[in-house]
Amino acid sequence: MSIHILPPQLVNQIAAGEVIERPASIVKELLENCFDAQATQITIHVEQGGLRLIRVYDDGVGIEKDDLPLALSRHATSKIANLDDLEHVTSMGFRGEALASISSVAKLTLTSRVENSTHGWSVISDGAEQFFDIQPAPHPQGTTVEVCDLFYNTPARRKFLKSDKTEFSHIEIIIKRMALSRFALGFTLFHQQKEILKLTPALDLAQQEQRVAAILSSDFINNALHLDFEISGLTLSGWISVPTFSRSQTDMQFFYVNGRFVKDKTVAHAIKQAYSDVLFHGRHAVFVLYLTLNPEEVDVNAHPAKLEVRFRESRAVHDFVMSCVKRALANVRPTIPNYDELSAHSEIEFDTFQTSPRFQKSLNLSEPEIYQTLYSQSNESPIEYKKTFDTNPNLMVLGYAISHLHGIYIVAETATGMVLVDTHAAHERITFERLKQQYADGKIATQSLLLPIKITVTEAEAELAENSEHFFAQLGFELNRIALETLLLRAQPALLQNSDGEQLVRDVLADLIEHEESYRIQSEYNEVLAKMACYGSVRAHRLLTQDEMNALLRELEQTERGGQCNHGRPTWISLSTQDLDKFFLRGQ
Query: What ranges in 239-346 are assigned the alpha helix state H?
Result: 265-274, 314-330
Architecture of domain 205-330: 2-Layer Sandwich (3.30)
Q: 51, 168 in Cβ contact below 8 A?
A: no
Query: What are the C-alpha distances in Å from 83 to residues 75, 86, 87, 294?
Result: 14, 5, 6, 16
588 residues of the chain, pLDDT tens digit each? 678 777 777 776 666 666 788 999 999 999 999 999 999 999 999 999 999 999 999 999 999 999 898 888 776 665 544 555 455 555 665 555 788 889 888 999 999 999 999 999 999 987 666 678 899 999 999 999 999 999 988 888 888 899 999 999 999 999 999 999 999 999 999 999 999 999 999 999 999 999 999 999 999 999 999 999 999 899 999 999 998 889 999 999 999 999 999 988 889 989 998 998 888 778 899 999 999 999 888 887 665 556 778 888 888 999 999 999 999 998 776 654 433 333 333 332 323 333 333 223 333 322 223 423 333 443 455 555 556 657 565 567 898 999 999 989 999 998 889 999 999 999 988 888 887 776 677 666 788 999 999 999 999 999 999 988 887 887 778 999 999 999 999 998 776 777 788 988 888 888 777 766 666 666 766 776 676 567 667 777 788 899 899 999 999 998 988 888 877 788 999 999 999 999 998 877
Looking at the chain, the domain(s) classified CATH 3.30.1540.20 span 346-588
The helix/strand count (H/E) of the chain reads as: 19, 22
Helix axes 382-391, 546-558, angle to 10 degrees: 40
486-493, strands of its sheet edge to edge: 446-456, 486-493, 478-483
Looking at the chain, the domain(s) classified CATH 3.30.230.10 span 205-330
CA angle 525, 250, 274 (to 5 degrees): 30
CA angle 306, 310, 311 (to 5 degrees): 135
Count CB neighbours of 29 within 10 A: 24
The CATH homologous superfamily for domain 346-588 is MutL, C-terminal domain, dimerisation subdomain (3.30.1540.20)
Count CB neighbours of 85 within 10 A: 14
How far apart (Å, rounded) are the C-alpha atoms in residues 18 and 282? 33
- pLDDT at residue 93, rounded to an integer: 56
How far apart (Å, rounded) are the C-alpha atoms in residues 528 and 504? 14
- pLDDT at residue 335, rounded to an integer: 53
The string of DSSP codes covering 335-384 is ----GGG--TT------SS--STTT-S---TTS---------TTT--HHH
- pLDDT at residue 199, rounded to an integer: 97
Count CB neighbours of 207 within 10 A: 13
SS3 of 400-466: EEEEEECCCEEEEEECCEEEEEEHHHHHHHHHHHHHHHHHHHCCCCEEEEEEEEEEECCHHHHHHHH
How far apart (Å, rounded) are the C-alpha atoms in residues 45 and 146? 9
How far apart (Å, rounded) are the C-alpha atoms in residues 173 and 28? 10
- pLDDT at residue 142, rounded to an integer: 96
Interior/surface letters 119-150, b for 16+ CB within 10 angstroms, e for the rest: ebbbbbbbbbbeeeeeeeeebebbbbbbbeeb
Q: 164, 148 in Cβ contact below 8 A?
A: no
Please give the backbone phi and psi of residue 437, each rounded to the nearest 5 degrees, phi first.
-70, -45
How far apart (Å, rounded) are the C-alpha atoms in residues 21 and 11? 16
Architecture of domain 8-199: 2-Layer Sandwich (3.30)
How far apart (Å, rounded) are the C-alpha atoms in residues 99 and 89? 19
- pLDDT at residue 298, rounded to an integer: 87
How many angstroms from the chain centroid is the CA of residue 193? 34
Interior/surface letters 263-302, b for 16+ CB within 10 angstroms, e for the rest: ebebbbbbbbbbbbbbbbeeebbbbbbbbebeeebbbbee
Nearest alpha carbon to residue 521 among 543, 539, 541, 503: 503
Strand partners of residue 489: 453, 479
Spatial CB neighbours of 165, under 8 Å, sequence gap ≥ 6: 49
- pLDDT at residue 172, rounded to an integer: 97
Helix axes 314-330, 501-515, angle to 10 degrees: 110
